[in-house]
Copies of this chain bind each other. A is one copy, B any other.
Amino acid sequence: MQIKLNRIDDKYLFQCTNSSGQSILLDNTSLPDAKGVSPMESVLMAVAACSGIDIISILKKQRQQISSFSAEVDGERVSVDEAKPFKKISVKFFLTGDIEASKAKKAADLSFEKYCSVTKTFQPNVSIEYKIFVNNEEV
């Protein structure tokens, strides 16, 4: 897997492109005029999206009807020398639709225990917590 990065201003705005030509903008968000998300924010986004793909994919196979799918991710950081890596990541998934609660819970368990390659890349360094809400009720 290969990606490319190009600085596209005279500060820290990076256009990052995959092998199919799709790209995202990453930036130094400590500057007030940042036009992209920060690298650390994008790691939290990767966790939610990786697991989101698993959960939706599993529920689709089980013919569950997902009307909406969203997530909130909080990252807790810790000082290590001059860096501040993540120590704990907490994910909340919100699903609405004609979905059996136990199936949604099981799909999330499978993702975090087995399938999600992003999470596996930094476990056990980082502890991951997750909660699933189906039609506004935690399951």
Task: List the interface of chain A (C-beta within 8 A of B).
Answer: 1-7, 11-12, 14, 16-18, 20, 22-29, 34-50, 52-53, 56-57, 66, 68-75, 77, 80-86, 114-123, 125-126
Contacts and interface: CB of A to CB of B under 8 A. Distances in A.
A3 B48 contact: yes
Nearest to A116: B83
Contacts of A66: 7
Contact of A43 (B29, B72, B118): B118
A125 B126 CA distance: 11
By secondary structure, the A interface counts as mixed
B73 A45 contact: no
A82 B120 CA distance: 10
B121 A1 contact: no
B5 A22 contact: no
Given A70-B4, A73-B5, A121-B125, A39 B44 contact: no
Given A22-B27, A39-B118, A40-B46, 9 more contacts: A3-B41, A4-B70, A12-B49, A12-B56, A20-B34, A26-B45, A28-B53, A82-B115, A83-B115
A52 B121 contact: no
A68 B121 contact: no
A2 B41 CA distance: 8
A77 to B, nearest CB: 7
